[in-house]
Structure 1
C-alpha cells in the first residue's frame, strides 16, 4: 500500500484552499479530486460495513457535520460528471463514496498518483487526539506535514462566520442570514470546542512534533499567501522536493474567501483579550507576523473600538501603525519582503 507523501493538516480558514489549488497545479504533485478526505478524523472510526448508506440518510445534527459534508461532496461530484464524464475520475468517486473505509481503502485513493509526490489536505487533522497522530505516523512516518496559521483574532471570527453559513445551508438556522447573527450566536461560535482547539497552534505543533521531526513540518503564515504567494509556494515546493519553478504560476487571489470583510469592534476586542496570552507565546516562538498579531491584540484590548474594523487586519490601520514603528521594535521579515514561512528546522 502506498500512503501519502505529505499531509496538509490546517489550520481551517487559514489558506488551505489556496494551498490545495496550487499543489494540484504542479505536474509532479498529485492530490485527490476532493480536497478533504476526512479519513483520520471521521471515517477511520466508521463501521466496516454499511457506513455509506447510513451517512446518506443521517439526520441533521448541529455538531455532527460530516454526513452533510459527505453528501455535499457527493452532490458536487455527480454534478461534475453530468457536465463532463471522465471514466478515471468516476472510478475514483466510486472508491471514495461507495466503499467502506479502511487503511487499504485510504491508500487506494492515491493509486492514480503513482510516480508522483502524493498528498491530501484535511484541516481537521490538526486537532486529532494523540492516538490519531500516532496512527498517521505508523502508516506514513516519512510524510511531510504542512500547517498554515492565521491571526487567532481573524481565524476565530472567520471560523464562527463559516459555522453560521453551514448551519444555514443545513437548514438548522431558518429564516436568518449571517449578517443577522446575534451576539449570542457569535459567542457560541467563539466558544465551540472545535473552533478553540483549531486555534491552539503551539499545542498542535507540539503534539505533531512528538511524532515527526522538525524538518518534516512546514509552518506557513497566511500573510505570506497575501504578500508573497510566489515566494511562499517556492518554499513549499522545495519542502516537498519538487521543481520550485512552477511557483511562478501561483494563484494570487484568495480561494473560498467570504464576506463580511468587516469585523464588529466588540468582537475584535473580545478575541484580542481572550487570545492575548497565546499571542505572547506565539510571538516569542516565531516573531515576524506573530509579533504583528500580538500588537493587534494589545491595541484592541487596551483601546477598545466601537466601530467595525477591516479584516484581514493587514488591511486595517493596525498594519500601518505596526509597520511604521522603529525598525528595532519590528521583525525584519515583513519589512524586508522576506517570507517567514518554512520548515521548523
Structure 2
C-alpha cells in the first residue's frame, strides 16, 4: 500500500476499538488459564471465543461462506467447530452474545470486522488471546503495530521440554497413549511446528522489533502454579487495571490430560533436543529458566533411574536437586521466594 494511503488510513484505524492487549502465546503455556482469569476482571473485556486467529489466518485469507461450510483448510474446519460449540451454548447467551456470533461467523474478514468484535468492551480494557500470534512473520507483526501501536503484548513461557511434550500429548489426544510409538513422539518433538512454538527468543526478537520492551509482559507457567494471585496482580498493573481487589482465581487446570509422569527415555530425548534452547533462555532470564537448563543437562548427562519421571518437572527430584546445588528457589517458603513474571525490562538478566 502506498505510504500516502497508509497515512490517510492510520487515523481512521485508530478511531476503531482495537484491543488494548494481546496474549500471543506460547502454546501450551497457560494461556487458557490466563484468558479465563482476565475475563473475570470487571475492568477487562475479552471475547468469549478464545483464539480469533485474525492476524495469522483470516487477514490474508480469501474465503466465502461456501468455503467455511465445506472447505478443507484448517481455518474452515476450526470455523465449523466453533459454530457447533456456540450453537450448543445458546441457551445461556444473551441477544448481545448472539449478535456477536453472527458478526464473528458471518462477517467479512478485514480490519473493520476485527475492530467490530471489541465494541462491546468500550469503556473497558479489551484484549484477545491467540497463541499462534507468537509465530507471526515480521510483516504480519508490522500490520499489528500499524493498527494498534500502543497495544501491550503478553507472552507466557514454559520449560521447553514440557511445552514440547504437552503439545505432543495434544496432537495424539484422540489415541491411546500405549499405541503411540517412540518414533512418532520423536517426530512430534523435532517437527517444525514444535520447534517454532518453542523458539521463545525468536518470538521476542520479532515482536520486540516493533513493540518497545516496556509494552511486553513475560509470564512463566511456574508462577501460575506457585503464585497465581501475584502473577495476576502484576499483570493487572501492567494492563493499568485495578490490581488490589481479591478476584477469584480459577485454579483448575485447563485442557490438561491426566498424565502426572512421562517416560524417562522420552524426557531424555526431549532434553537432547531442547538443551540449547534452555541454555539460551537461562542466559537471558535466569530464575526458572536456570532450572530448565539444569533439568535438561541432568537428563542428558545422568538420567534418573526409573522408567518414568514426574511431570511437570518442578514435581520431580530434579527440582529438589537444583535447589540444593544452587541455593536458589523461586518457590514459596524459600529465601528467594517471589514470582518471576513481569514487564520485559524487569525480568531480563543483564550480563
TM-score normalised according to structure 1 size: 0.91
Aligned ranges 1:306-321 → 2 under 5 Å: 307-321=307-321
Aligned ranges 1:51-200 → 2 under 5 Å: 52-59=65-72, 65-81=74-90, 83-165=91-173, 168=174, 176-200=175-199
Partner of 2:33: 18
Deviation of 1:153 after TM superposition, in Å, equals 0.5
Deviation of 1:215 after TM superposition, in Å, equals 0.6
Partner of 1:211: 210
Partner of 1:172: none
- C-alpha distance in 2 between matches for 1:247 and 1:15: 21
Aligned ranges 1:162-311 → 2 under 5 Å: 162-165=170-173, 168=174, 176-305=175-304, 307-311=307-311
- C-alpha distance in 2 between matches for 1:247 and 1:255: 21
Deviation of 1:343 after TM superposition, in Å, equals 0.4
- C-alpha distance in 2 between matches for 1:282 and 1:156: 15
Partner of 2:57: 42
Is the Cα contact below 8 Å between 1:231 and 1:339 reproduced in 2? yes
- C-alpha distance in 1 between matches for 2:172 and 2:78: 14
Aligned residues: 327
In the TM superposition, what whole-angstrom CA distance separates every residue of 1:21-67 from its partner, at most 9, and x where no partner exists?
A: 010000000000101100011111212x51x43022123xxxx5333
SS at match of 1:13: coil
In the TM superposition, what whole-angstrom CA distance separates every residue of 1:68-105 from its partner, at most 9, and x where no partner exists?
A: 32221111100000x33421000000011111200100
SS at match of 1:325: helix
SS at match of 1:246: coil
In the TM superposition, what whole-angstrom CA distance separates every residue of 1:172-222 from its partner, at most 9, and x where no partner exists?
A: xxxx42442111221221122121101001111011110000110000000
Q: Which segment is superposed worse, 5-14 or 258-267?
A: 258-267
Relative to structure 1, the CA distance from residue 87 to residue 159 in structure 2 (aligned partners, 3 Å threshold; closer, same or farther) is same
Deviation of 1:326 after TM superposition, in Å, equals 4.5
In the TM superposition, what whole-angstrom CA distance separates every residue of 1:83-128 from its partner, at most 9, and x where no partner exists?
A: 3342100000001111120010000000100110000000000000
- C-alpha distance in 2 between matches for 1:136 and 1:239: 20
Partner of 2:7: none
TM-score normalised according to structure 2 size: 0.89
Runs of at least 5 residues in structure 1 that lack an aligned partner in the other structure? 169-175
Relative to structure 1, the CA distance from residue 96 to residue 240 in structure 2 (aligned partners, 3 Å threshold; closer, same or farther) is same
Relative to structure 1, the CA distance from residue 247 to residue 53 in structure 2 (aligned partners, 3 Å threshold; closer, same or farther) is farther
Query: RMSD across aligned C-alpha pairs, in angstroms?
Result: 1.6
In the TM superposition, what whole-angstrom CA distance separates every residue of 1:203-248 from its partner, at most 9, and x where no partner exists?
A: 1101111000011000000000000000000000000000002354
- C-alpha distance in 2 between matches for 1:65 and 1:183: 27
- C-alpha distance in 1 between matches for 2:191 and 2:74: 13
Q: Which segment is superposed worse, 249-258 or 224-233?
A: 249-258
SS at match of 1:9: strand
Partner of 2:9: none
- C-alpha distance in 1 between matches for 2:243 and 2:130: 23
- C-alpha distance in 1 between matches for 2:161 and 2:330: 23
Relative to structure 1, the CA distance from residue 247 to residue 143 in structure 2 (aligned partners, 3 Å threshold; closer, same or farther) is farther
